[in-house]
Amino acid sequence: MSKKCQVTNKKANNAYVISHSHIRTKRLQHINLQNKKIWSKTQSCWIRLRISAKAIKSIAKISI
């Protein structure tokens, strides 16, 4: 399973680790993925998703 949010399609970001001597080494900043069950009103059942923490906050805010 890929490290991608199923709701927002967010994925890892390319970044640098910068040492004291300013040598830059590439690394990945992974997203905060969580396994979550969300109740679907339209289908009247639970849906299991692998979504980011930001998506969980957004869903809670608009209260789907």
Is the pLDDT at 47 greater than 70, yes or no? Answer: yes
Q: What pTM does this model have? A: 0.76
Start-to-end CA span in the chain (Å): 25
Q: How many residues would you count in the chain?
A: 64
Amino acid at 43: Q
Confidence class for position 64, pLDDT limits 50, 70, 90: low
15-36 pLDDT, tens digit per residue, is 999 999 999 999 999 999 999 9
Region label for 46, one of left (φ > 0), alpha (ψ between -120 and 50) or beta (otherwise): beta
DSSP code at position 2 = -
CATH 2.30.170.40 at 13-62, yes or no = yes
